[in-house]
Each structure stands twice: as C-alpha cells, then as structure tokens.
Amino acid sequence: MARPNSTVVVIAGDESARVVAGLDGLANVRAVQRPGGDMTRPAGREPHPTGGHRHSPRTPGDDAAQRVRAAVAQSHAAYVVHDVDPLGEVGAAWAGFFDRTAPAGTLEVAVEAALRSLRTEAAALPDYYVVLDPDALPETRRHWWFGVLAGVSPNRVVPAAADVATVRDTIGALRSGRWWPDPPDEWLHGLGRVVPDRAVLLG
C-alpha cells in the first residue's frame, strides 16, 4: 500500500470518540468518527475560523474502516485522526489471553483476522497511537500499549490526558521513529510469547 499524504493518528481510549470530535475543525486536521456517532456538524456551530475540516455526513450502510480508508486516501491535511484501531481486537485478545478471561484460540483468531485485513489493505497500521489516560487502564491493557506496541516502535505510542487541548498539543509534538515490523506476520504471531510482566513499560 502506498503511504498516505497525511500522518495518520489513532486516538485510543474510552473517551476517544469525544476527543476525535473535538479535534474536528482544527487547521490541517481531518477527523473521522465511527459511523455510530453523529457525523454531522452540530446545529448552530459556525465554521472554524482556521478553515479546518468538518466531518462528512453519514451514509447509510457505510462502516468505520471504509470511512477511514476513504479519508486517508483523499486527505491533503497534515493529520488524519480517528479511533478505528486495526489492532483493537488483537489487543483485547492479548489482554484476555494473559488475564485468562478469553476462550482458548481467541488471540490466534484475532491475529489472523488482523493480518488478513492488513494484507488485503482493508486496514493499515497508523503512524501513531495516542493513548488516553493510560494510568487508568487495567494493568494488562497498559502493558499492551506501552510494553508490546511501544516495545517494537517506541515513539509511535504516546500517552495523553483525555482532553482535546492536550491531545492537540501531543499530536503537534510527535517524534519520528522506526516503523512497525514489516511484514507484521512474525511479530503478531509471536504475541502469545510476550508476557506482560516481561514487556517493559515505556510510557
């Protein structure tokens, strides 16, 4: 897949939809929300004076991944931000595997599904993850973000408080770093051997 014109940032956390919506309208930012949210401009809201981008109206039957792909392909903004994590199911399954809350085989199924999406270009890894309020996360989930993911690409997983101003400033200060393992097959297939207690927290 050709690299996009924009830097793609996934906002991760319970407040991700609210934060993504709050970033809409900022100059040089294209914000893409999940179809389940209100994708239209709130009544009475005036265009942002900086001339930033607005959300596109919802289209019946569209889905989150398709919206993200279209936004990334079409955008000429400096940043595309969204909360559709291509490794979301993998992270949840990894945490469930080590917390012993997920049925046997869940992690393997999630990994194969993610690899299939990446190979067919139905999804793509973002340039960065901004993880909201990581100190409030369960320990194993925190290890996923700042042990497993940050372990393979430290500068591409960044913590931030769950408020729009902080996330805006965090995005503006992102540092370059090595890319995710490419191809990701060996890395993702080996996740079951990455024990949380041995995944050094970098955040």
For residue 88, give the nearest of 174, 158, 10 by alpha carbon.
10
pTM over 0.85: no
pLDDT at 72: 87
pLDDT at 51: 36
Place of tokens 């291509």: 86
Alpha carbon dihedral 31, 34, 37, 39, in 10-degree steps, equals 40
pLDDT at 5: 85
Structural domain boundaries of the chain?
A: 7-15+66-198
pLDDT at 201: 59
Question: Given a cut of 70, is residue 47 above it in pLDDT?
Answer: no
pLDDT-derived band at 198 (thresholds 50, 70, 90) equals low
Question: Given a cut of 80, is residue 84 above it in pLDDT?
Answer: yes
pLDDT at 9: 97
- On whether the CB atoms of residues 203 and 161 are closer than 8 A, the answer is no
**Which residues are within 8 A (CB) of 10 and not within 5 positions of it... i.e. 6 or more apart?**
81, 82, 83, 84, 85, 126, 128, 129, 130
